[in-house]
Amino acid sequence: MEAMLAPFAPVLLGFYYCILGVLALYGVHRLLLVAVYLRTRKNRPATPADPETWPVVTVQLPLYNEMYVARRLIDAVCAIDYPAGRMEIQVLDDSTDETIEVVAERVAHYRERGIDIHHLHREDRSGFKAGALEAGTAVARGEFLAVFDADFVPRATFLRDAMPFLAADPGLGMVQARWTHINRSYSLLTQVQAIMLDGHFVVEHAARHRGGCFFNFNGTAGIWRRQAILDAGGWQHDTLTEDLDLSYRSQMAGWRFLYLPDLTAPSELPVDVNGFKSQQYRWARGSVQTGRKLLWRLLRASLPWKVKMEAFIHLTNNGAYPLMIVLSLLVFPAMVLRRGSPMQLLLMVDLPLFVSATVSVLIFYAVSQLGAGEEGGESNRRSLRFLPALMGLGIGLAVNNTPAVLGGLFKRGGVFERTPKYAIAQRGQSWIKKRYRSPLGLSVWIEGLLAFYFLLCMVYSLKVGMWLSLPFLYLFFQGYSYMFLLSVVPTLRRASKRSQAATQSIEVESGPS
């Protein structure tokens, strides 16, 4: 094997170290965010007094084919405690299925009880979610606009907890709440997703906000000042992350944002890995599109250098996914070529790069679990045992997100594929027979091939005694095989159940002979 790879050694190792170096830089950035978070973790804004006159708020609920969760969302929003006559609710419904009837029934139910709620149904889904929000904003009567996606269940005190901040500070354009998760313990997949989102909300958002950098509205569980939207140019749909795009435009227009980690909003995590992958694809592609659209303008703006650098890293960090694919193909040849290298070289070069690129991930998410307090400190400390699975899942997403990144570099917009929600709140509930399934894509089979490739690499390493390479190879194998199996097994189970149902139907129709 060494002799076969030797002629290509300079090129292979050159690419390998360059890619590992770039990933290490993103790892160092994660550690810097952790440092800022730890240094500022006690900096919490003082809660202002309640306003003498509560502002009018329009609560916007963008929906598209959400028959399983639409009722739950509307019921929760209509239970929000806010002064009479000061809250308007808009159900921005682009649905084409039974969701329309579910929404119509709930809206009529609450209108009869005196709640100011409106069912705004669009037959033309132009602009997708951004288009629906734009249409709703045009006719909203509120000075402030709260947004909740279909998978959220806002608490009754949400507006009373958030609005004093906006009412007291006319320069504040948006308040973002922290997401919590009603089905966190449903499966290994939801546990890992919850940790990933904790990293984003507990560490990233807090560090960016308290460090004086830009951070973003997350598309839901936040409240906008209408003027901050208008000054930024309104909702636009030339990216798949209209929330990220508007956030950066609004902050560049001079508006300040506030992140409130103690203001929480429960939500439902995707339980189907293909729905999760669809969500991640959209976020990755939209983030790259936003970077392509705004980075040059942002870098030329009169802003502090730390704001520009943080924004650059924030809007380009999904570029790590294509690099991860290349690294996946190079990591084993590089290990073979470096077999027998002096230990001093490995300690001086390889170890720092690997620590920066991989251990930084463990530290980042470990800190998020110790700091979240989402289910109580003890519960989140127990989540630390899922960190190895998180490492594998992060690698496994590379196949799914690489075409998203490449597509975002060259194409604007795209079809907004919404993430299926099934009203799954606890273990034991099944989603296999429910509608809105995300289809299997080509990425699934590439994940399977890469899993098989790393299995062969592990077998070879065992055969020749490359013991130190096994943990790294297993991490890649675990990530790709986990994504492959989670994608394929539910589909096979569903097909099997359909086949059994069809067989039983035929037997019933034919009757006894």
Catalytic annotation present for 238: no
Q: How far apart are the first and last CA of the chain?
A: 65
Helix axes 273-300, 305-316, angle to 10 degrees: 150
Question: Between the CA of residue 14 and those of 20, 89, 118, 354, 453, what are the distances in Å?
Answer: 10, 57, 60, 16, 22
75 is catalytic: no
Candidate list 93, 243, 245, 272, residue with the active-site label: 243
What are the backbone dihedrals phi and psi of residue 311, each rounded to the nearest 5 degrees, phi first? -65, -40
Task: Measure Cα distances from 285 to 279, 304, 405, 415 in Å.
Answer: 10, 27, 5, 11
Task: Characterize the bridge pairing of strands 117-121 and 87-93.
Answer: parallel
Rounded CA gap, 205 and 202, in Å? Answer: 6
Sheet holding 144-147, edge to edge: 117-121, 87-93, 57-63, 144-147, 222-225, 172-181, 256-267
Measured distance CA(230)–CA(118) in Å, rounded: 22
| Pure H helices in 179-221 | 188-198, 206-210
Report the candidate in 46, 77, 84, 45 with the shortest Cα–Cα distance to residue 62. 77
Instruction: Write a three-state SS string for 350-409.
Output: HHHHHHHHHHHHHHHHHHHHHHHCCCCHHHHHHHHHHHHHHHHHHHHHHHHHHHHHHHHH
Contact 373, 43 (CB under 8 A): no
Q: If you write DSSP's letter for every residue of 401-447 in order, what string do you get?
A: HHHHHHHHHH-------PPP-----STT---TT-S-PPPP-HHHHHH
Query: What residues are paired with 260 via a beta bridge?
Result: 177
SS (H, E, C) 104-151: HHHHHHHHCCCCCEEEEECCCCCCHHHHHHHHHHHHCCCCEEEECCCC
Angstrom distances, CA of residue 177 to CA of 132, 327, 496: 22, 36, 42
- Of residues 93, 94, 149, 198, which has the active-site annotation? 94
If residue 294 lies in a helix (H) or strand (E), which one and from where to where? helix 273-300
CA distance 89 to 75: 11
Distance separating alpha carbons of residues 475 and 473, to the nearest angstrom:
5
- Contact at 8 Å (CB) between 475 and 449? no
Query: Which residues are part of the catalytic machinery?
Result: 94, 243
